[in-house]
Amino acid sequence: ALVMSVLGISLFMFKIEDTIYCPGVIVPEHTFEIVGHIDAHVKKFNHRMGDDVKKGDILAELDSRSYESDAIALESAVRELEAELEVKKVELEILKKEPLPKDLWFSGTNVQERKKLAAVTRDRMERSRKLQLVSAISKAEYEKIELEAIQREADLARAEENLRRVQSGLGPKYIEKAKRDIELVAAKIRGKKAELEFLRKRIAECRIVAPADGRIVRLQCKDTWYVARGKVAAVIASGSKVRAIAKISPTVIRKVKPGQHVRVTSDVYNKYQYGNFNGVIKWIGDIPLNSETGGQILYPAEVELDPEGYVLKYGSGVELAIITGKQPAIYALLNMSDEDFQEIRRKRAAHRKAAAENLDLNELKNQK
């Protein structure tokens, strides 16, 4: 009994280092996924997976021949429209000086002339009609004169209509139409240039460009030689810091806090030869990782590592020992933290207080 008592007391008196062990993986500080903007075949690869690249380096070139041919056709159309626009501008300047077409320049004179000719023709037709009645001329001659009279009347009607159009302000209407023609051609040019700019952007997108300095860790289009719109074509790892993502069980995740020290063992470097690497907890995730082990729930925690000059390969595995603090041995055996015991003490104190209050209340009732 004495031994058990001493053992029980020692479990509360002696403090040990509470450590959580979990697996993890080395990840870069920043990860850039380059997504394809168009569907296209790869024409040329300038880099391969594992290469270090600089921001702006072209990783691969895509087939842009269809866009380039359309751009050439649009450039030709723009040049033609610009030439047409210049012609329209010259025509407008001419119309401002003389807005009417040449056949309407002498509309008033033409009407007077047509009236006189029509009057002469009417007189001639009247005389011919009388002569034809007395058989002085043939019927064929009379019909010829009659047709001439009809033509003269039609010419007079056209001349009067032209005069009416001139007097109604036809000149300003011609000028207004010329201005609208210029606006129409200018609008067509703007539309073609917008299409051309869109095609140039498409041509520029026919390249996979590095968004930052880093290393190519994935190049999905290398095997298929094809880039699909909206799909990841390449992944670049960037940044000077080395991180690990710890995969922590939900039964102990509550003990993990930012700032806690971490000992890290790398699969790349034998711990008996190279020892452990040091790290610090930076962030704890609230959403579990996508499990690849069939239903196991694990929470992520970001650990910033000090590689001590060694190269920790991206994607390589690590074993992490997260030191959550020192506490009585009984805490560690029961998988409980200081917060857990504080909560238990708080609940017990509240229970004792409530019991005492009920006892006092019962005594007051009995006294009455």
Tens of pLDDT, residues 95-121: 676 655 555 555 656 667 777 777 777
How far is residue 127's CA from residue 133's CA, in Å, rounded to a whole number? Answer: 10
How far is residue 367's CA from residue 250's CA, in Å, rounded to a whole number? Answer: 54
Q: For residue 276, what is the DSSP state?
A: P
Which residue type is seen at 203?
A: I
Higher pLDDT, 182 or 128: 182
- 22-39, pLDDT tens digit by residue? 999 988 888 888 888 888
Q: Which of 180, 157, 194, 156 is nearest to 77 (CA)?
A: 194
Q: Which of 358, 320, 38 is nearest to 207 (CA)?
A: 38
How far is residue 367's CA from residue 221's CA, in Å, rounded to a whole number? Answer: 89
**Exposed/middle/buried for 347, CB within 10 Å: 0-12, 13-18, 19+?**
exposed
- The answer to whether residue 259 scores a pLDDT higher than 80 is yes
- The answer to whether residue 11 scores a pLDDT higher than 50 is no
**Exposed/middle/buried for 58, CB within 10 Å: 0-12, 13-18, 19+?**
middle
Q: What is the pLDDT of residue 229?
A: 84
Work out the pLDDT band at 19, boundaries 50, 70, 90: confident
How far is residue 239's CA from residue 28's CA, in Å, rounded to a whole number? Answer: 7
- The answer to whether residue 154 scores a pLDDT higher than 60 is yes
Give the start-to-end residue ranges of the domains of the chain.
10-62+215-336, 68-200
Q: Locate all alpha helices (DSSP H) within the chain, ordered by sequence.
A: 2-13, 65-97, 107-133, 139-167, 170-204, 221-224, 271-274, 329-333, 338-367
* Region at 293 (left for phi over 0; alpha for psi -120 to 50; beta for the rest): alpha
Q: What is the pLDDT of residue 232?
A: 86
Task: Provide φ and ψ at 211, rounded to 5°.
Answer: -80, -15
Q: Whole-number mean pLDDT of the chain?
A: 79
Q: What is the pLDDT of residue 76?
A: 92
- The answer to whether residue 361 scores a pLDDT higher than 70 is no
Structure tokens at 194: 């917008």
Q: Which of 308, 238, 234, 239 is nearest to 268 (CA)?
A: 308
How far is residue 242's CA from residue 137's CA, in Å, rounded to a whole number? Answer: 120
Higher pLDDT, 239 or 21: 21
Of the listed ranges 279-288, 314-323, 329-338, the least confidently predicted one is 329-338
User: Residue range 136-161: average pLDDT?
Assistant: 76
Structure tokens at 365: 């009732």
Please measure the distance between the N-terminal and C-terminal CA atoms of the chain and give it in whole angstroms.
49
Say which CATH superfamily domain 10-62+215-336 falls into.
Efflux pump adaptor protein, beta barrel domain (2.40.30.170)
- The answer to whether residue 176 scores a pLDDT higher than 90 is no
Q: Over the range 70-104, which residues count as b (16 or more CB within 10 Å of their CB) and which as e?
A: bbeebeebbeebeeebeebeeebeebeeebbeeeb
Q: Locate all alpha helices (DSSP H) within 225-302, ordered by sequence.
A: 271-274
Q: What is the pLDDT of residue 162?
A: 65
